[in-house]
Chains A and B, each alone.
Chain A
């Protein structure tokens, strides 16, 4: 993992305790990896755009009522059956038109953010914890443990993600949010585990780890205080980009009819129900698809920006 290598060597050359440096003087070398990255990120338009997008999307997920007063489940078939979007009515109930049941697409798109983002954030959190744990144990202890954990990782990595998810999810009669989250996490942790393992292997040879060992630090202290914080940089980058991927995966599975299902409001569910009117009312499918794409785009751009900021090779 070349990124891991860059990230750690950078940190290793930036000693935390430089007592003589006066606080007023801005010395680029004395900054830690993260504050250095933050310094870069604040000036990156790509980061700012994606951060604003993500904040808006998160606000939608937490408080959808701030964006619309319409009810996403209210259906008025007689009045609004497949009514075309009214593009000039910004933020109004009929802005994006109505679906086949006469429900406001604008309201559904806003309320759909919660399920889609909850799945993606939930899966990413679980995958990061599990993947880091496996990768760290395999990378740090090596030997037999590494062989076993790596083979297990290979097994899960070899099973195609969507195909595996299809099999797992069919076994649940009722696919609630947490079922989808657990199923995707069950299959998805391998990528992070591989990245974390590679990152830990390069870090465990670093001088500060050797020093900590020589000072008699316990294994758990070395792992938690020295290895973990320094190995996280590439993991966070991969996790951010993967988050976008899980938004897309939720939509794909719902489209296949095995992800979330009605009455849950989610972008995937709406895309799935929109495909039947593809020929006469394509907007029913396209509008939630655009929301999915924007969200994925935002997380990928964020991941790219963070990666660039953490990689000193590009400076």
Chain B
């Protein structure tokens, strides 16, 4: 087990370096540069720009800039924003908790409601409630999440007046309910469908028949035997889902004006602040990598036949 985790952590290193390099070189390729953006419309002496670029290390070739960035990163330095002179870490510390809160909220909603819906439908496959679930999830999958967001906003904020259409900069928990539901709706549909299929399939398994024949109470048969065995494909999906939710939050944040990571990336892209974009995307990639490692470890908990040597 320990060796397995160590090997997986080692495997993360090239993926981590690869994805930072990928995003870094994409930012490098962007036309326009942050120093010129600083000056705005004013004419600036090209000598001055060149001097400033040299000072910031922006005149170096790509590999050298990247190396500088990585060195800083390993010392816990995410770099400095050029326009505001604030450390990028500060921006990350401000924006990340909000997006994490939003994504976590959406994740809990997805997991709890999705699995409940899936079990409910899967126990009676091909009955009316199963058909209804398939229809609802199909609709959720086909309506793009930003359209769903707009509809929710028109209905709950403008028509009913239950919530404020815009989330305040503090982004309190209760304000995030609607954005989280919208963000989680697509994953909800997938979780519900996966659970449904898995439950319906496992109902016919031999161990289910044995459990029933042994005279175990129904609660235990479904809650322990069936559910535990049906969770493997769902857990696989949920593991990759945390990263997806954090990435997808960009769209939801745009609609509800949440001041999270999506907003920060948007602003940073506009001002060509490479280090901010790279820092944020890197963190999301790390969240994704750690989540998928946790999922693989969870397999062994769910199914004792799976062992990691």
Chain A contacts of B251 at CB under 8 A?
162, 252, 255-256
A-B contact count (CB 8 A): 119
Chain A contacts of B265 at CB under 8 A?
163, 166
Q: Do residues B244 and A160 form an inter-chain contact, with CB atoms below 8 A?
A: yes
On whether A155 and B19 interact (CB within 8 A), knowing A166-B269, A300-B138, the answer reads yes
Q: Do residues B254 and A158 form an inter-chain contact, with CB atoms below 8 A?
A: no
Q: Do residues A151 and B15 form an inter-chain contact, with CB atoms below 8 A?
A: yes
Q: Is the interface of B mostly helix, strand, loop or mixed?
A: helix
Q: Do residues B284 and A248 form an inter-chain contact, with CB atoms below 8 A?
A: no
Which residues 122-180 of B have a CB within 8 angstroms of A?
138-139, 141-147, 150-151, 153-154, 158
Q: Do residues B22 and A155 form an inter-chain contact, with CB atoms below 8 A?
A: yes
Chain B 29-69 interface 0/1 with A at a Cβ cutoff of 8 Å (1 = within): 11100000000000000000000000000000000000000
Q: Do residues A171 and B247 form an inter-chain contact, with CB atoms below 8 A?
A: no
Chain B 184-215 interface 0/1 with A at a Cβ cutoff of 8 Å (1 = within): 00000000000000000000000000000000
Chain A contacts of B29 at CB under 8 A?
171
Additional A-B contact list (11), CB under 8 Å, known A289-B144, A289-B147: A159-B281, A164-B26, A166-B266, A173-B31, A255-B146, A255-B251, A289-B150, A293-B139, A293-B142, A294-B142, A300-B141
A236 CA to B153 CA, complexed, in Å: 37
Which residues 7-41 of B have a CB within 8 angstroms of A?
11, 14-15, 18-19, 22-23, 26-27, 29-31
B172 CB to closest chain A CB (Å) equals 24
Binding site for B on A (CB under 8 A): 151-152, 154-156, 158-164, 166-168, 170-171, 173, 244, 248, 251-252, 255-256, 271, 275, 278-279, 282, 285-286, 289, 292-294, 296-297, 300-301
Q: Of the candidates B15, B30, B139, B247, which one forms a contact with A160 in the assembled complex, judged by CB atoms under 8 Å apart?
A: B247
Number of interface residues of B (CB under 8 A): 44
Q: Do residues B288 and A158 form an inter-chain contact, with CB atoms below 8 A?
A: yes
Binding site for A on B (CB under 8 A): 11, 14-15, 18-19, 22-23, 26-27, 29-31, 138-139, 141-147, 150-151, 153-154, 158, 243-244, 246-248, 250-251, 254, 262, 265-266, 269, 277, 281, 284-285, 288-289
Q: Considering the complex, give the chain B residue whose CB is closest to the CB of A294.
A: B142
Q: Do residues B269 and A158 form an inter-chain contact, with CB atoms below 8 A?
A: no
Which has the most chain A C-beta neighbours within 10 Å: B15, B30, B144, B246?
B144
On whether A155 and B147 interact (CB within 8 A), knowing A168-B26, A296-B141, the answer reads no
Q: Do residues B30 and A155 form an inter-chain contact, with CB atoms below 8 A?
A: no
Chain A contacts of B143 at CB under 8 A?
289, 293, 296
Q: Of the candidates A156, A275, A292, which one forms a contact with B144 in the assembled complex, judged by CB atoms under 8 Å apart?
A: A292
